[in-house]
Amino acid sequence: MDLGLRLGHRTAEVLACRVVILARAMLGELSMPEVADAVRQDVEGMEGIDSPRVSQSHAWLSGVFTLTGQLDAGLAEADVAVASEPVSGFSRLSTTFRFLNRAYARDEAGLPSHARGRPGSCAR
């Protein structure tokens, strides 16, 4: 992160910050509101460098909202993520977060057809 800052390389700085956010969140060093704030900053950073990976930021924000019970906000972020996701090795990550949101909402109609009415589905 410091190297990116010293060199004035904004992309390196944004990507390094993303790693720090994820690590701190996984280690439990950040509360969910702090994670949400950090991911919002990641969205701003990715938009600032015009990165196609901003879709991942929106997907993560969807996950934070979903896991904290803000299902409408989570769905809105998932839909932004799905709409902006480029075709790549990470394709469908956004769809996964949308699936998570609809499962938490117990919205069987919002699930992909292959997941509806199956044992373990949200319809129980």
Domain ranges of the chain: 32-115
Is 71 a residue whose pLDDT tops 60?
Answer: yes
Angle, helices 32-48 vs 10-26, to 10°: value is: 160
The model's pLDDT over 7-64, given as tens digits with 9 standing for 90+, comes to: 566 788 888 888 898 899 889 999 999 999 999 999 999 998 888 889 999 999 999 9
**Count of positions (residues) in the chain:** 124
Six-digit token pair at 10? 């904004």
30 versus 120: the higher-pLDDT residue is 30
Average pLDDT estimate for 76-87 = 92
pLDDT at 13: 84
Note the pTM of the prediction, 2 decimals.
0.78
pLDDT at 65: 95
Q: How far apart are CA 68 and CA 94, in angstroms?
A: 18
The candidate with the shortest Cα–Cα distance to 57, out of 102, 90, 29, 104, is 90
Percentage of the chain with pLDDT > 90? Answer: 49
Is 116 a residue whose pLDDT tops 70?
Answer: no
The answer to whether the CB of 3 falls within 8 A of the CB of 32 is no
